[in-house]
Amino acid sequence: MHDNDTRPTDGDRLLETFPRAGLGPDSASASVLTVPAREADTVPAGEVLDPILADRYPFELYSHQAAALRALGGNEHVCVSTSTASGKTHVYGLEIARRLFAAGVLAPDGTRAADRNERATALCLYPTKALTNDQRDALDSLYDDLGLDIRVRVYDGDTPTAERRSTREEADVILTNVQALNVYLEHHDRWSRFYSALELVAIDESHTYTGVQGMHAAWIIRRLERVLKYWGGDPTYALASATVGNPKAHSETLLGAPVTVVDDDGSPQGARDVVLWNPPPRDRSDGPAANDGMPTGDGLPTTDNGSSTNDGARADDDGVADRVPASVDAPKVFGHLTASDIETLLFCPSRKLTELSVERAKEHVRGGPRTYGERATTGIAPYHAGLGRRTRHARETEFQTDALRGLATTSALELGIDIGSLEATVLMGYPGQRQSFRQRIGRAGRGTDHSLAVLVADHRTLDQYVVSNPAYLLESDVEDAVVDISNDAVFASHLLCAADEIALGTDDLGSFADADRLRAGIEMWRRTGKLEGHPEAAVHYTGPPRPQTDVNVYGTDGDDYRLVLAESVDRDRWSLPEGLDLEPVDRNRAARDYHEGAVRLHGGQQFEVVSVEDSRPTPVIELAPVDVDYYTRTRTDVNVIEADSEESRTVNGFELHFGHGTVLVHHDAYDRVSVGNSETLEAGLPTGTEPIEMETQLCWIEVPKSIEQTLVETYRAYGVETGVAPDAADPPHLGYVAGLHAAEHATIQTAPLELRVDKGDLGGLATLVLDSHYAAEDTSGRDTDTTPEDGSPPESLRAAEHAVDARQRQLDGPPASGWFIYDGVEGGLGFARAIYESFEALAARARDQLRECGCGRPNGCPACTFDENCGNDNRPLLRASAVDVLDLLLGEASIESFDAYDPGREAGGETRRPALFYS
């Protein structure tokens, strides 16, 4: 099979040999990017480390390791932001050893000089328990190789009680996770030896601390600092991060202190071909035959022997509104590569798909005897957590020894586990972040070997953006990691914990938190009875014991829903592990993702929500494992009220705002979508959940009057093109507001291209009556309209709609129009803020995607304008109008160039406009 001229892992070779007509190096639906090899940039260890350590270390240091060690040696906090497998663990591993020598805990020969270490200890924090164990092994093995007697111990929920005390008293290095640390801070006096001697805190995978988790981590670190100060510890921090766009800002927010960034990667990397693969178009109206023999859940065979669906032959003017899903096409690529004896990993989003993919891959090979000959279709297998330890272990070994050629895996293999070398990776859909993308493709190719990565795109915005803009993947400017500590609800819960750990005092003003904020938080809790005292004396915690257990690092509210397995579930039958690690969820997420009937993936296994109990003191959601051929997608209806602008700036005449407000969300219906081919099986099923009122942070854009008038005129005639039914196609503003709606969708969908954000953390609302959503001027001194006297949320979003409509009457003139983007979590997460700061960049990406989408439809498609959670069923939408708005915002078009532009038109000719808004 191997051609002598080209390597098997060549991208071009794949395109040439794959049995699909029209596919080749010049095809429109696949492109090959070549990532050149990178040589190692090294420094002899002796230049950075003392001989006592350098002489023991068998390797040269990569340049970034050297830079980091130099900075740490100078007691600077450091963030090493380089690719995976670039030796970051050795950075802090060596620094720990260095300090132990310097403190005299280790004798020059590497044995212990002092049995009890009261001089130099180290704490290493990881986001998960699994990683903690892996890293303990890594450090143990490093110290073994160096011949150093350093005691490395894990201390977390799995540590037996009998060992805890000795670990606290004797360990040199303690490894744990952030959630556990939160709880251990309560009895910090038991850790006094360890804390008073603490010299180094290593935070691994620090880029994962964003969003909600990031907020909690930031506060837990600040509480740790208070405790350390009490006991006299003053460590240096070493952060190890994947590449992010803003390592300095992110690290400094996390730590609350200055950080030196080392991001010039000196580790070597083999050359790589990245193939961006767009599956062939599919037209639903043509029926199954033209749809490439679409398999259903029971695995009917598909063949791909040059049938009617040929790729690239369909001209762009036909427009591609839909494509074969990645779940169908990627296994074919996988099958092809493994049949060519190339060691390959296929990354799938769920366990079910790993199993299905192996079947499909085999079908593909069996169905192509001309291409593949009589190859056995053994040699590939699924890999996921549900297989049981023994089977997984066996497969890891078989893969290492070449008994298995390919593994279809869940994200379980994105990190850590050693499966030896492999030559190619295939990704079923874009994983949403470049960092994840790089981590996965980084599994292939060891050292300087050439490797292959194939990204099989799905027909949705991010994937399509990536295949249309190949340079994006290679841009060194990576997404920003956002962590924001301005959420006061989260601050309030950590404030109680801090007071419980050590009484609050004047030292904390300005150091634990800003003085005003601290005083406000203390006063609130004093009034509620949970704190007493004043900072000038001491503020003590007086609430129920152990407030630390109320902190859920995945949520923002005390009233989080617990996720539990329904009583009747047979764990063994479903191979569910004992500790089903389901973290509690906040009420907004509970309503959106865990309503009754929702089907969610966890650890690759499907679960259905069988009941939701919100009446108990601790609300509970019961799940049962299922094996169904669909997943569910929730539809969300949204309104914004009481928006209050705190900051604003002007961009080409548009007014951009950032502030706080109240968002009403109603996750009122859901659809069932086929796993196999993403068809909607059933739509609009009721969820039965109540609307939720959330106070959060928002960013919004106000369209200037002249532009609005021009665009309304330009698109006045558009009606059914926006996707609405003919009888709703009348309003003159429809075309324009459909454009706002599309722009809102697009800016949210493309946000992950700029920020490390999950689209699910954001929400939006496009509106014709922006001012009606603002907080009213408080003239009467009483709450107005929407909020009933006892403060409960409005009965329905309809009530809020009426209120917004009514608000218009109170305005002085016609309102402006525009759209909101908000953080979907109570109190905010910092994303709306980040979007406000980088709105232009976001708008550019959104505009590109809208303009260049090949769907050819006026109202767009899932790759450009559609949002799967749209509460208005993705209508009305209008691409062209959205592109115009964004072009004008970016200053790349001018209003004068529009035919409908009329500077003489009277402003405010209308007395009232329909209160149209769409989420």
Partner 1 sequence: MSGASSVRLLSIPAAAADRLAAATLTDAVSYFNPDAVLLPGERNARGYAAVRTELDGVPAIHPQLGRNGERTSWYVPGEGGLRTADAGTAVETPALLAVQSGGVLADLRAGPELAAPDAGATYLFIPALSVAADRTSLSATLPFAVDVASIAASTDGPLAVLAGGQPAGYHHVWTLPVDTTPAGGRATPSETDSTLDSPTIDVPVVGLGATGEGGAAFVDVACGTDGAAAADAITADGFGLRALDGVGAATEERLADVGCRTRADVGDVAVAELSAIEGLGRRTAERLHAHAEVIETGEPLKLTNEQPVPTQSGRPPLCLDIETDGLSPTIIWQFGVYDPARDSYRAFVERTDPTDPAAVLGQFLEWLLGRHADRAILTWNGNGFDYPQIERFLRRHHPHYIEAWNDLRRYDLYTWAVRDGNALLPGRTNRLDDVADALGYEPRERGLSGAQTAAAYRRFMRRPDDLAAAPDWERHERYCRDDCEALWHVYEAIEAADRRDATDSGSGGASGRQSGLTDF
| Residues contacting 852, CB < 8 A, separation 6+ | 468
Smaller CB distance to partner 1: residue 70 or 229? 229
Measured distance CA(523)–CA(531) in Å, rounded = 8
Query: What does the alpha-carbon distance between residue 407 and residue 803 come to, in Å, rounded to a whole number?
Result: 56
Write the CA distances from 916 to 637, 706, 734, 913, integer angstroms: 13, 19, 9, 8
Closest approach of partner 1 to the CB of residue 614, in Å = 15
Residue closer to partner 1, measured from CB, 417 or 503: 503
In the beta sheet, which residues pair with residue 480? 755
Q: What is the nearest approach in angstroms of partner 1 to the Cβ of residue 103?
A: 18
| Nearest distance in Å: CB 551, partner 1 | 13
Q: Which is nearer to partner 1, 495 or 598 (CB)?
A: 495
* Least distance in angstroms from the C-beta of 736 to partner 1: 35
Q: 260 vs 645, which CB is nearer to partner 1?
A: 645
Residue located via tokens 């609130």: 524
Given a contact cutoff of 8 angstroms between Cβ atoms, the answer to whether 548 and 559 are in contact is: no
Question: Which residues, 6+ apart, have CB-to-CB distance to 730 below 8 Å?
Answer: 719
Instruction: Compare residues 193 and 366 and give the one whose CB is closer to partner 1.
Output: 193
CB of 716 to partner 1, least distance (A): 42
Q: Which is nearer to partner 1, 416 or 543 (CB)?
A: 543
* Phi-psi label, residue 440: left if phi above 0, alpha if psi -120 to 50, beta otherwise: alpha
Residue in this structure with the two tokens 């510890």, named with its chain if needed? 233
Which spans of this chain sit near partner 1 (rule: CB under 8 A)?
189, 192, 230-231, 487-489, 491-493, 499-503, 505, 517, 519-521, 523-529, 532-534, 536-538, 540-542, 558, 617, 695, 781, 791, 826-827
SS3 863: coil
**Collapsed DSSP state (helix, strand, coil) of residue 281:** strand
Q: Rounded to the nearest 5°, which phi and psi values hold at 867?
A: -125, 125
| 3-state DSSP assignment of residue 454 | strand
> CA-CA distance, 754 to 837, in Å (whole number)?
11
The span from the first CA to the last CA of the chain, in angstroms, equals: 53
**Bond from prior residue into 914 cis (ω within 30 degrees of 0):** no
What's the closest the beta carbon of residue 512 comes to partner 1, in angstroms? 14
Dihedral sign of CA atoms 709, 715, 719, 721 in order: negative
- CB of 518 or CB of 656, closer to partner 1: 518
- The least distance separating partner 1 from the CB of residue 235, rounded to whole angstroms, comes to 18
Least distance (Å) between residue 109 CB and partner 1: 30
Q: Is the CB of 603 or the CB of 827 nearer to partner 1?
A: 827
Instruction: Report d(CA 88, CA 787) in Å as an integer.
Output: 53
Least distance between partner 1 and beta carbon 793 (Å)? 14
Comparing CB distances to partner 1, the nearer of 492 and 664 is 492
* Helical (H) or strand (E) element with 202: strand 198-204
Output the smallest distance, CB 178 to partner 1, in A: 21
Nearest-angstrom CA–CA distance, 143 and 171: 14
Nearer to partner 1, 191 or 383 (CB): 191
Side chain identity at residue 5, one-letter code: D
* CB < 8 Å & 24+ apart, contacts of 13-16: 14/275, 14/333, 14/336, 14/337, 14/452, 14/454, 15/275
Q: Please, how many CA atoms are within 13 Å of residue 37, restricted to the half-sphere of its CB?
A: 12
Residue 552 Cβ, how far from partner 1 at the closest point, in Å?
14
Phi, psi of 816 (to 5 degrees): -85, 175
CA distances from 48 to 66, 91, 143 (A): 6, 12, 18
User: Under a CB-based contact definition with an 8 Å cutoff, are residues 365 and 31 in contact?
Assistant: no
Q: Which is nearer to partner 1, 40 or 489 (CB)?
A: 489
Residue number, 92 or 822, with CB nearest to partner 1: 822
- Minimum distance from residue 281 beta carbon to partner 1 (Å): 47
